[in-house]
Amino acid sequence: AETIYLKDYTAPAFWVDSVDLHFELGEEQTRVASRLALRRRPDSPSGALVLDGDKLELEQILLDGRPLAANEYLLDDESLTVLAVPESFVLETTVVIRPQDNTALEGLYRSGNIFCTQCEAEGFRKITYFFDRPDVMSRFTTTIVADKQSYPVLLSNGNCIDRQDLGDGRHSATWQDPFAKPCYLFALVSGDLGCVEDRFTTCSGREVALEIYVEKHNLDKCAHAMHALKKAMRWDEETYGLEYDLDIYMIVAVDDFNMGAMENKGLNIFNSKYVLARPETATDADFQAIEGVIAHEYFHNWTGNRVTCRDWFQLSLKEGLTVFRDQHFSSDQVSRAVKRIEDVCVLRTHQFAEDTGPLAHAVRPEHYQEINNFYTVTVYNKGAELVRMLQTILGPDTFIRGVRRYLQHHDGQAATVEDFLMALREAGNLDLQQFQRWYSQAGTPQVSITSQYLAAEQALEITFEQFCPATPGQANKQPLHIPCKIGMLDTGGQPLTLQLSGDEAGTGTEEMVLHLRQDKETLRFINLPEPPVLSLFRQFSAPIRFVGEESSQTLAFLLKHDSDSFNRWDAGQRLAERIILNGANQSSRETAANDLDLLAASFASILQDDSLDKGLAAKLLELPNELYLALQMQEVDVEGIHTGREQVRKHLAVNLRELFRAVFNASQSTGDYSVEPEAVGRRSLKNRCLWYLDALDTEESSQLVADSYRSATNMTDRIAALMLSVDNSGALGQELLGDFYRRAENDPLVLDKWFAVQARSSKPETLASIKNLLSHSSYQPQNPNRVRALIGTFSRANPLRFHVSDGSGYALLAEQIIALDPVNPQLAGYLAGGFSAWRRYDEGRRKAMQQQLQRIVSLPKLSRDLSEVVTKMLE
Ligand code: HT7
Ligand code: ZN
pLDDT at residue 144 tops 80: yes
Query: Which residue ranges does the chain devote to CATH 2.60.40.1840?
Result: 332-547
2-40 pLDDT, tens digit each: 999 999 999 999 999 999 999 999 999 999 999 999 999
- Which atom of ligand 1 lies at the shortest distance from residue 304's CA? 1
Residue 612 is predicted with a pLDDT of 97
Residue 584 is predicted with a pLDDT of 57
* Residue length of the chain: 875
Q: Is the Cβ atom of 121 under 6 angstroms away from ligand 1?
A: yes
pLDDT at residue 307 tops 60: yes
**Third-level CATH fold of 193-301:** Zincin-like (3.30.2010)
Q: With beta carbons less than 8 A apart as the criterion, state whether 251 and 268 touch.
A: yes
Query: Which residue ranges does the chain devote to CATH 2.60.40.1730?
Result: 1-191
- Ordered strands of the 194-201 beta sheet: 194-201, 207-214, 248-254, 267-271, 261-262
Residue 589 is predicted with a pLDDT of 65
**Range 508-515 average pLDDT:** 94
Spot the catalytic one: 297, 342, 354, 385.
297
Indicate left, alpha or beta for 863 from its phi (over 0: left) and psi (-120 to 50: alpha): beta
Q: Kindly report the average pLDDT of the chain as a whole number.
A: 97
In terms of DSSP H, where are the helices of 241-379?
284-299, 315-333, 336-346, 352-356, 377
Residue 1 is predicted with a pLDDT of 84
Q: What distance in Å separates the CA atoms of residue 330 and residue 339, rounded to the nearest whole number?
A: 7
- Of 372, 485, 487, 386, the C-alpha closest to 439 is 386
C-alpha 789 to ligand 1 mean position (Å): 19
- Which atom of ligand 1 lies at the shortest distance from residue 257's CA? 11
Name the closest-CA residue to atom 10, ligand 1.
Answer: 259
Name the closest-CA residue to atom 12, ligand 1.
Answer: 262
Q: What distance in Å separates the CA atoms of residue 40 and residue 12, rounded to the nearest whole number?
A: 9
C-alpha 297 to ligand 2 mean position (Å): 6
Q: With beta carbons less than 8 A apart as the criterion, state whether 399 and 369 touch.
A: no
C-alpha 120 to ligand 1 mean position (Å): 6
- At the second CATH level, the architecture of 745-875 is Alpha Horseshoe (1.25)
- pLDDT band of residue 45 (cuts 50, 70, 90) is confident
Name the closest-CA residue to atom 5, ligand 1.
Answer: 120
Q: What distance in Å separates the CA atoms of residue 49 and residue 56, rounded to the nearest whole number?
A: 17
Residue 588 is predicted with a pLDDT of 67
Q: Is the Cβ atom of 296 under 6 angstroms away from ligand 1?
A: yes
Q: What distance in Å separates the CA atoms of residue 292 and residue 93, rounded to the nearest whole number?
A: 40
pLDDT at residue 585 tops 80: no
- pLDDT band of residue 428 (cuts 50, 70, 90) is very high
Name the closest-CA residue to atom 6, ligand 1.
Answer: 120
Q: Is the Cβ atom of 263 under 6 angstroms away from ligand 1?
A: yes
Could you give the 3-state DSSP secondary structure of residue 19? strand
C-alpha 792 to ligand 2 mean position (Å): 21
Taking CA 621 as the corner, what is the angle to CA 618 and CA 627, rounded to the nearest 5 degrees? 105
**Range 616-644 average pLDDT:** 97
**Range 195-201 average pLDDT:** 99
C-alpha 256 to ligand 2 mean position (Å): 18
Residue 593 is predicted with a pLDDT of 80
Q: Is the Cβ atom of 868 under 6 angstroms away from ligand 1?
A: no
Radius of gyration of the chain from Cα atoms?
A: 28
Residue 607 is predicted with a pLDDT of 98
Could you give the 3-state DSSP secondary structure of residue 563? coil
Q: Whole-model pTM? A: 0.98
Q: What percent of the chain has pLDDT over 70?
A: 99
Out of 80-89, 105-114, 327-336, 582-591, pick the least confident: 582-591
Q: With beta carbons less than 8 A apart as the criterion, state whether 636 and 630 touch.
A: yes
541-582 pLDDT, tens digit each: 999 999 998 999 999 999 999 999 999 999 999 999 999 998
Residue 591 is predicted with a pLDDT of 72
**Count of alpha carbons within 13 angstroms of residue 544, beta-carbon side:** 29
User: What is the DSSP-derived secondary structure letter of residue 602?
Assistant: H
**Range 342-353 average pLDDT:** 98
Residue 297 annotated among the catalytic residues of the structure: yes
Query: Which residue ranges does the chain devote to CATH 3.30.2010.30?
Result: 193-301
Q: Is the Cβ atom of 269 under 6 angstroms away from ligand 1?
A: no
Residue 146 is predicted with a pLDDT of 99
Is the Cα torsion angle 718, 722, 724, 725 positive or negative in sign?
A: positive
Name the closest-CA residue to atom 1, ligand 1.
Answer: 262
- Ordered strands of the 482-489 beta sheet: 511-516, 482-489, 533-535
User: What is the DSSP-derived secondary structure letter of residue 219?
Assistant: G
**Range 814-826 average pLDDT:** 98
649-700 pLDDT, tens digit each: 999 999 999 999 999 999 998 789 999 999 999 999 999 999 999 999 999 9
- pLDDT band of residue 645 (cuts 50, 70, 90) is very high
Query: Which residue ranges does the chain devote to CATH 1.25.50.10?
Result: 745-875
Q: Is the Cβ atom of 319 under 6 angstroms away from ligand 1?
A: yes
Q: Is the Cβ atom of 381 under 6 angstroms away from ligand 1?
A: no
517-538 pLDDT, tens digit each: 999 999 999 999 999 999 999 9
- Of 875, 722, 755, 869, the C-alpha closest to 354 is 869
607 CB contacts (<8 Å, ≥6 apart)?
A: 617, 621, 656, 659, 660, 662, 663
- CATH number for the region 1-191 comes to 2.60.40.1730
Out of 118, 184, 185, 259, mutate this one to test ligand 1's pocket (max ligand atoms within 8 Å of CB): namely: 259
- pLDDT band of residue 586 (cuts 50, 70, 90) is low
Q: Is the Cβ atom of 120 under 6 angstroms away from ligand 1?
A: yes
- CATH number for the region 332-547 comes to 2.60.40.1840
843-856 pLDDT, tens digit each: 999 999 999 999 99
Q: With beta carbons less than 8 A apart as the criterion, state whether 762 and 724 touch.
A: no
Q: What distance in Å separates the CA atoms of residue 160 and residue 174, rounded to the nearest whole number?
A: 6
- Of 23, 262, 254, 255, the C-alpha closest to 146 is 23
Q: What is the largest CA-CA distance in the chain?
A: 95
Angle of helix 396-409 relative to helix 383-394, nearest 10 degrees, comes to: 120
pLDDT at residue 309 tops 90: yes
Q: With beta carbons less than 8 A apart as the criterion, state whether 155 and 267 touch.
A: yes
Q: With beta carbons less than 8 A apart as the criterion, state whether 827 and 258 touch.
A: yes
C-alpha 206 to ligand 2 mean position (Å): 26
User: What is the DSSP-derived secondary structure letter of residue 865?
Assistant: H
CB-based contacts of 640-647 (< 8 A; 24+ apart in sequence) = 640/584, 641/580, 641/581, 641/584, 641/799, 642/762, 642/799, 642/800, 643/584, 644/579, 644/580, 644/581, 644/583, 644/584, 645/580, 646/695, 647/583
Q: What percent of the chain has pLDDT over 90?
A: 96
**Count of alpha carbons within 13 angstroms of residue 724, beta-carbon side:** 25
Provide DSSP, 509-561: BSEEEEEE-SSEEEEEE---SSPPEEE-SGGG-SS-EEE----HHHHHHHHHH
Angle of helix 638-655 relative to helix 657-666, nearest 10 degrees, comes to: 80
